[in-house]
Structure 1
Amino acid sequence: MRKNIKNIFTFVLLLSISLGFAQRTQNDTINTGVIDVVKPYAPTISDAFKVKEVPSLDDETTETKKAIKYNIFSFPVASTFTPAKGKAAVVEKRAPVKLFDNYATLGVGTYTTILGEVYLNHAISRNESIGGYVSHHSSAGGIEGVDFDDNFSDSKINLNYSSRLRDLAWNVEAGFQHQMYNWYGVPESQIAQAKANNIDTGHSFFDAHFGGDITFEDTYINSGSFFFRRFGDNQGSGENRFIAKAKVDVPINDVEISTDFKIDYLGGAFDRNYITTDALDYGNFQIGLSPTFELKQDDLTVNLGASLYYSNDKASGDNNIYVYPNISATYRLVNDVLIAYGGIKGDLIQNSYYDFANENPFVSPTLFIRPTDQLYNAYVGLKGKLSSNMSYNVSGRYIADRNKALYRNNEITLTSEDYTYGNSFGIVYDDIQTFGVAGEINVDVNRNFKLGIKAEYFSYSTDDEAEAWNLPDIKGSLFLDYQIDENWFAGANVFYIGERKDQFSLNDGFTVTSPFTVNLESFFDANAHVGYHINEQFSVYAKANNIANNAYQKWQNFPVQSIQFLAGATYKFDF
């Protein structure tokens, strides 16, 4: 609007100037003056119209399209560049380790130690295989300060057959074992008399066993097994044991109760007892039933059950019924980081001559054997992961045992038997309450490095005995396994056993002393090994045991070998 007003004023001004100039040229006598032309501005708005997207043009020039020609002025350029062919990136994969079905190893070391083992396995068909192993470990002895034979040997042979079918898998195995030890732990005060009597400290054990197991798929009967062992020694002792087990799921109102069924028979005899020449017979027959029901809700899992045992004592003819709790629970507080667990259980423990002799090979063949009634074993703990490669477990427990078996040094009687010079152990029973705490850490830095540490503390309370004989107050262990590179490997383990207490008493017919307590010092036992894989089948290794060179006494009057070295080789193969 302002632009239109300006144009009008410009036009009026030019018109005035033109008129004035014309008048001046025609008649100079006309007086000059100013003529003001005033006209009001009345703007109007034109009709709006829509512009078409594609305007209609009738221009002949526009409608006729002109042909356009493009000319490219190209010329060759010299170049030596050759593009390389691209290929997809690949991730480096470690070559799979070749696994062999068989191996043989042999090592020799100080104290004239021989260690050998052969394991064989052969697949008869796709579903059947047969295998076996033979092992031998012996030493000629030579412990410093020992005046009697201290050599030992342990030889085993085993055969097994297994079959896996569509709905079941079963296995049978049979074996034989021969062990030989010596009652060389004669106290210093009795060495002269033992030499004068020319005692024979050798004690040999024989073990023949046969057993099998079967596992079912998609049936109420989950598994079953049986085992028979004949165990004896060169002193006229003999023991038979038969164990049969089955695990079934019993459906009750659409709920399955997992039930363990067990039959355990033990019968044996010794030629004499420790004091007199009367034979010592023992035996116990047990039938056990342990139903368990599992409840799950979110992060909580609870197993509710009980154990019922019937026991018949062969020697006394007594029949007894035992009932034990069988309850356990776990609760995930923080996924796998923090898991709380606890429970209370009980058991009727079948003690045997075989078990005692394998734990303490210096027992005398005059043991009174009876079962242990473990009233309850209550425990609580926390476990989980501190990181992706570090796990932990902290726990505490309280155990009440009735007739718990304890090893105690036999009284010195100097009879015609070679084990009556304070160089053997007997079994005594007592009601014992045990309080214990334990903690362990396991570290898997990677697939080549593993580390584990465990420590336990125990406190005992006895009813009749002065001490909990030969039970340590502290236990500790450390193990290390390191695959250094493709060829080299190494490992170590350390054991710590705290103080134990034993008893010493003398009653040889001439001198009688009141029994007094002997403190056995705690000890470390450090062992290490290193090896080299020459190829995938052949390896060599070296071991060092009792590196601290400490001739400690695990049992009273029985020092062990000092530092030992052993070197050997292992060969893996297939048929």
Structure 2
Amino acid sequence: MNRKIQLLSIIFLGVSQFAFSQIKEEKLVLNKKREPEVKKIEKKKTSVETIKNYPPEEKSQNPVKYTITDVPAVSDFKTSTIQGEDVAPKFDGTAQNNYVQFGMGNYGKILLDGNISKTLENKFEVGADVHLLSTSGLKNDYDWKSKQTSATIGAFLNSYGDKGKFNINAEYGLNNYNYYGIYALTPNADVDLKQKVNQFKVNGYYDFYSNEILNDVRVKSSFLKDHFDAQENQVSILANFSKHAVELGKSGINLNADLGVGLEAVKTDFEMVDKNSSNFFNTNLTPKVTFRKGESYLMLGSGFSFLNAKNSNRLMDQVKNNKTYWFPQAEFQVAAVKEFKFYGGVDGGLKLNTYADLLQENPYALSDQYLKPTETKYHFYVGLRGDIDETLKYDFSAGFGKMKDIMFFKANPLFDNNYTLNRAAYDYANTFSAIYDDGNVSDIKGSVQYFPLANLIIDGEVRFTKYNLKNYDNIYNVPLVNASIGAKYTMLDKRLLLGFKGIFASDRTTNSFSIEGIADASAPNGMIYRSLENTNDKVGGYADLNLSAEYKIHKNFSIFALGNNLLSSKYQTYKAYKVLGPQILGGVKVTF
């Protein structure tokens, strides 16, 4: 066994050194995203007991961190946090929280990161961070502007008391980019395609150390405005009440009781095209009880939502809708041994679709959306997970659900049929709108983490998702299969950290348009444009390979190189929106 491990280490070292040599030879780049690190093994959020009964001093050693990550999982041309995941190197357990990072790369990339925090008296921790990423875009692919800039400035405060911990953080984000994905017309080089989104967030969180009565309270707020005067205000409050570890006689079974109470309000107003306006107020109640013995448990609960919704636009008067929803919630786990844990359950819920959420998923969404919530009536699932000798962790599951108002994106045609290229930034068949349909969804997913060596971690994920819709033959802009594989390897006495991430996706169906000019005597110049729709166009799949390396020259100084999309494929995530090609970025990082 030891010889196999040594052989694996030598092979990986050779591959890592070859990859690092390739980084120096390629024309590298980074397309960076600010996103919390994604954990590979998904854990279902239930009322299963969470270990929280430890002394405040011990808990304060693991404070909530608000850090900046360095590289996206998918080197999307857009620099916003879309499906972001950190694949940059991290020296776990040795890195300091305070740092400044600067890098430059091809495509005119400029990266600036900074994070600083300080612990004051009475266990108060204050901190701030800043992130800036700018790119000149795909000048060789488009005659018109495709440059983009994203910036985020944040500050936070952590406090650790005798009974619980408190956090508040504020963040301002700016996204300045262009609707550059034009395929049906050929505009002038100086056409204005600008879109700019400003968003300000304030969040607060209080977590009690024990699970007695009031468990935790969370408050979130968001204020958004874009270049076309769309405005959205959002606030939510969630309180979790609980009573855990109640012994039921001498059976060895413990009872956990939980009640979640949530309020959420969203108001969105658009100022162009149809001038949609929406106002949602939603109240949630989620009572549940859990019977637990060892690692086996049974959870029974329900979800209740009380929604007040208002929608209007220039084509219709205000429509009001008051509705009460009920959703089943149950989950069980049978754990004879830690290596094999069989689980299953059913859940459901109501999701308010906001303009901010739409922009995170698709920044090229039109600044005029008809918003409505998505209802998951029920979702059944079964799975198997386990931990084998603390070397292999796995989780495989399959599910089936029924949904109402599934939200996805369709491409927009021209809004102005006049025969001219002097038109608004969003009026080149280059934007998308949310559409909704009812249907069923089937999903199969799996994730694996493998730890063959103390300094080597290998992980992989795959997800298959199939939609059967009521009105549409295919769901637009959603791949059937997503997969990823990654590795992190530390060497040279933990001074060199190498990372690899491969992202794979199957092709997607979308609608698209061809534009033709036709004679019209009533038009000012005798011609108008006509949009012809193709409802079965394809956006090809992709394989996106990413490499990262960081070398510690000194405990407070390191150099790094990041490579994204190294297969040189300028694939598309949405029709006509090419991502950057092979990207290399190099820089320095100072910790203090």
What's the TM-score bracket when you normalise by the shorter of the two chains? 0.7 to 0.9
2:411 maps to which of 403, 409, 427: 409
Q: 2:358 is paired with a residue of what secondary structure?
A: helix
The answer to whether structure 1 residue 457 and structure 2 residue 441 are counterparts is: no
Superposed counterparts of 1:484-503, under 5 Å: 484-486=491-493, 487-503=495-511
1:326 is matched by which residue type in structure 2?
Q
Q: Distance in 1 between matches of 2:497 and 2:539?
A: 36
- The residue correspondences of 1:418-497 to structure 2 (distance < 5 A) are 418-486=425-493, 487-497=495-505
1:513 aligned residue (528, 532, 546):
532
Q: 1:329 aligns with which of 309, 327, 332?
A: 332
**C-alpha deviation, 1:234, in angstroms:** 0.8
Structure 1 residue aligned with 2:100: 104
Residue aligned with 2:427, SS: coil
Confirm or deny that 1:180 pairs with 2:173: no
What is the rounded CA distance, in whole Å, between the counterparts of 2:271 and 2:93 in structure 1? 55
Closer, same or farther: CA 453–99 of 1 in aligned 2, 3 Å:
closer
1:514 CA displacement: 4.2
TM-aligned CA distance change 1:205 to 1:537, over 3 Å:
same
| Higher gyration radius (CA) | 1
Write the distance in 1 (CA, Å) between the matches of 2:191 and 2:379. Answer: 44
**Structure 1 unmatched runs, 5+:** 1-95
Per-residue deviation at 1:164?
A: 1.2
Deviations 1:320-379 (A, max 9, x none): 00000111111113x111111111100100111001111111111011111101111221
Match of residue 83 from structure 2: none
**CA–CA separation in structure 2 for the residues paired with 1:414 and 1:564:** 38
Residue aligning to 2:547 = 528
Residue matched to 1:569: 588
Q: TM-score, normalised by structure 2?
A: 0.76
- Counterpart of 2:160 in structure 1 is 164
Q: Which amino acid aligns with 1:465?
A: Y
Please provide the CA RMSD for this pair.
2.0
Task: Give the Å deviation of 1:104.
Answer: 1.1
Q: CA deviation at 1:290?
A: 0.2
| Correspondent of 1:238 among 207, 225, 231 | 231
2:284 and 2:455 mapped to 1: Cα distance?
44
CA distance in 1, matches of 2:555, 2:175: 34
Flag structure 2 segments of 5+ consecutive residues without an equivalent: 1-91, 249-254, 312-318, 418-422, 517-527
Are 2:117 and 2:125, in contact at CA under 8 Å, matched by a contact in 1? Answer: yes
How many Å separate the matches in 2 of 1:253 and 1:437?
A: 37
- Counterpart amino acid of 2:475? A
Cα displacement (A) at 1:499: 1.0
| Equivalent in the alignment of 2:264 | 264
Give the Cα separation in 2 of the matches to 1:414 and 1:396.
Answer: 46
The structural deviation recorded for 1:162 is 1.6
User: Residue 546 of structure 2 aligns to which amino acid in structure 1?
Assistant: N
1:341 equivalent among 340, 343, 348: 343
Q: Is the 8 A contact 1:136 1:155 kept in 2?
A: yes
Structure 1 residue 458, shift from structure 2 partner:
2.1
Q: Distance in 2 between matches of 1:178 and 1:337?
A: 46
Match of 2:570 in 1: 551
Any idea what SS the aligned residue of 1:355 has? Answer: helix
Alignment of 1:29-178 (within 5 A): 100-178=96-174
Contact 1:149 1:184 in 2 (8 A): yes
- What amino acid is aligned across from residue 497 of structure 1 in structure 2? A
Aligned residues: 469
| Residues 430, 463 of structure 1: 8 Å contact kept | yes
Following superposition, which runs of at least 4 residues in structure 1 exceed 6 angstroms of deviation? 250-255
3-state SS of paired residue (1:354):
helix
Comparing 297-306 and 562-571, the one that deviates more: 297-306
Q: Percent identity?
A: 20
Q: Is the aligned partner of 1:247 residue 2:240?
A: yes
Paired with 1:97 and 1:309, the residues of 2 have a C-alpha distance of 42
Q: Distance in 1 between matches of 2:222 and 2:149?
A: 20
CA shift for structure 1 position 159: 0.8
Q: Which moved more, 1:383-392 or 1:131-140?
A: 383-392
Query: Which AA in structure 1 matches 2:219?
Result: F
* 8 Å contact from structure 2 (residues 511, 533) kept in 1: no
Distance 1:339 1:153, change over 3 A: same
Structure 2 residue aligned with 1:538, among 539, 557, 573? 557
Q: 1:144 to 1:228 in 2, by over 3 A?
A: same
Counterpart among 185, 188, 197 of residue 190 in structure 1: 185
Matched, 1:360 2:352: no
Distance 1:467 1:122, change over 3 A: same
- Give the Cα–Cα distance (whole angstroms) in 1 for the partners of residues 538 and 94 of structure 2: 52
Q: What is the aligned counterpart of 2:382 among 380, 396, 401?
A: 380
Q: Which residue of 1 aligns with 2:222?
A: 229
Q: How far did residue 317 of structure 1 move?
A: 1.7
Q: How far off is 1:98 after superposition?
A: 5.1
Q: Flag the 1:100–1:367 CA change in 2: closer, same or farther, 3 A.
A: same
Deviations 1:369-428, CA, capped at 9 Å, x for gaps: 111011112211111134431122211111222101111111133463221211111111
2:267 alignment partner, SS class: strand
SS at match of 2:356: helix
Work out whether residues 250 and 259 of structure 1, in 8 Å CA contact, stay in contact via their aligned partners in 2: no
